[in-house]
Structure 1
Amino acid sequence: MQTRGDFPWWLVAASALGLYFLWRIVSDDLYSQVLTTLSRGVAITLFVTVVGFALASLLGLLLALGSTARWLVVRQAVRFYVEIVRGIPILVLLLYVAFVLAPFLVELWNLIGLPEARTRDFPLIWRAILALVIGYSAFIAEVFRAGLLSVDPGQIEAAKALGLSSWQRFRLIVLPQAIKTILPPLGNDFIAMIKDSSLVSVLGVLDITQLGKVTAAGNFRYFETYNVVAFLYLAMTIGLSLLLRRLERHLNRKP
């Protein structure tokens, strides 16, 4: 039975705040102009987040599998990567990748003998995505590792006894059970990446935050402009948070 304390009053308050800003956007020409300008950055923010998170999840899964490998050198190499990357702030990692790693990769590209490239040929948006992939893959690797280790070893041994291959054991036994453990923190990392994607504005990438900075510098209406910036981020993060909670409850109801 749900108690009165369980009622999501926070959601009611957040919805009321959202409706207020929607009313201001509809009724106030300044808010409408700012929203029209910033809406161009929504696509960039979502592109950086979705592509970055997909690649970070793939790399994180490979790192998690490496952390459970039989070979000591592989496990230690993965642990080295995870601990070093997790200790670097995302902003510092973003600047390092953009101005140190990217030029190095371009030089390496030229040394291999491929068609000559220059550092400016490496778009800033892809430098930002690479930084997010490196940074978040270390955190996601730990999420996957915890999920994989949560599966009862006895079931894996039973699958081996039935003659299932490593891929079949992973696909049919391990992953379906691990997903319930993996999904909540993985969803939280996705929401966190939406917020951290705002850091790409330091490279001049025209996401929501960068367009907000440019707009505010032009109209000097910082209050209204950053209200719209915050509204756009909150609409995405709270909406995704509610969707993930619903998906989590659906998975928990499954036998």
Structure 2
Amino acid sequence: MTQEKIIIDVGDGAAIPSKKDMGLFSAWRISFCGAIVLLIYLVISRPDPYLKIVKFLPDGIIVTFQVTFFSIGLALIIGLITGLGRISRNRIANAIASTYIEVIRGIPLLVQLFYIYYALGRFVRVPDMVAAVIAMSVCYGAYMGEVFRAGIESIDKGQTEAARSLGFNRTQTMFYVILPQAWRTILPPVGNEFIALLKDTSLVSILAVADLLRRGREFAAESFAYFETYTIIALIYLLITLLLSKLVSIMEDRLNYYGKF
């Protein structure tokens, strides 16, 4: 008697809402609507300080998105290269990719941020934003590498054999046949890592990057309205993550829909 292997996938990002899970889908709607209503209520009922806080934060939100999108773009490239290295028959490439993943995943992101900005700063002066993007990309690239590896290995080997029989070489088979099919498997965890990365951008405030949290800290330091400021920041982060999780859910549904044809 064989026992079916059960994989439990728990990530750091927000849960992706799906109509298949009505409890989670309802929780998403309650959370999203509740956050909007509470934010509007606070701004209208107490414009001082809540409206002032909201007006003070937009540039910080823009910086947060800049760090997130630059980092996720670079992390996807690093992750793809690393994932291909992990499944490579070349022992050197496999060893380098595997060692990179083990080392990076074993060091906290906050330590990596300090190391790139302060430790390496003794030899090469790295601008705040660049240091933040590099650290986030290198850290999440290691996680993306495992996501790509798992996604590629989930595709039936018959697909590779069929492509090779049609005259495709290994590179063409990977990019024209395997990766497009693997993307449906890869998208949910990539979306989850994207949302987790956005939340982790709050750490870059220690590098004097004027992100959402940094701007909030500046306002709180001037006004001493710590409770009000961090309440607004929490609501904004919640709304952003909920919107992104819904976007990932829509993309996943469309991929599954077109994948049927």
Query: Does TM, scored on the shorter chain, surpass 0.5?
Result: yes
CA distance in 1, matches of 2:73, 2:100: 19
Greater relative CO, 1 or 2 (CA 8 Å, sep 6+): 2
Deviations 1:129-168 (CA, angstroms, capped at 9, x unpaired): 1110111100000000000111111110111111013332
Match of 2:136 among 132, 137, 148: 132
Partner of 1:114: none
Contiguous gaps of at least 5 residues in structure 2: 1-18
Moved more, 8-17 or 58-67: 8-17
- Give 1:8's aligned residue: 25
Residue matched to 1:24: 42
Distance 2:174 2:105 in 1: 27
Stretches of structure 1 that go unaligned for 5 or more consecutive residues are 107-118
Distance in 2 separating the partners of 1:235 and 1:82: 31
The equivalent residue for 1:98 is 117
Query: Residues 43-91 of structure 1: CA distance to partner in whole angstroms, max 9, x if unpaired?
Result: 1000000001100110110111111112111111111110010011111
Question: What do the CA deviations read for 1:171-221 (whole angstroms, capped 9, x no partner)?
Answer: 321012100110000000000000000000011111000111111111111
The residue correspondences of 1:43-82 to structure 2 (distance < 5 A) are: 43-82=62-101
RMSD between superposed Cα atoms in Å: 1.8
**Does the CA contact (< 8 Å) of 1:44 and 1:206 recur in 2?**
yes
**1:102–1:127 CA contact under 8 A, matched in 2:** no
In structure 2, distance between residues paired with 1:161 and 1:50: 39
Query: Which letter maps to 2:51?
Result: S
**Offset of residue 99 of structure 1:** 1.2
Q: Secondary structure, in 3 states, of the residue corresponding to 2:251?
A: helix
Does 160-169 or 38-47 show the bigger shift? 160-169
Say if 1:4 and 1:81 are closer, same or farther in 2 by CA, change over 3 A: closer
Distance 2:62 2:233 in 1: 14
Instruction: For 2:39 and 2:90, locate their aligned partners in 1 and report how far apart those are by CA, in whole Å.
Output: 56
**Alpha-carbon separation, structure 2, partners of 1:60 and 1:9:** 33
Sequence identity (%): 38
Whole-Å separation in 2 of the counterparts to 1:134 and 1:3: 34
- Aligned equivalents of 1:196, 1:61: Cα separation in 2: 21
| Structure 1 residue aligned with 2:105 | 86
Other-structure match for 1:252: 256
Q: Which runs of 4+ in 1 moved over 6 A?
A: none
Task: State the 1:5 CA deviation.
Answer: 5.8
Match of 2:181 in 1: 177
Tell me which amino acid in the other structure corresponds to 2:58: S
Secondary structure of the residue aligned to 1:151 is coil
C-alpha separation between the residues in 1 aligned to 2:224 and 2:65? Answer: 27
CA distance in 2, matches of 1:4, 1:252: 16
- The structural deviation recorded for 1:102 is 4.3
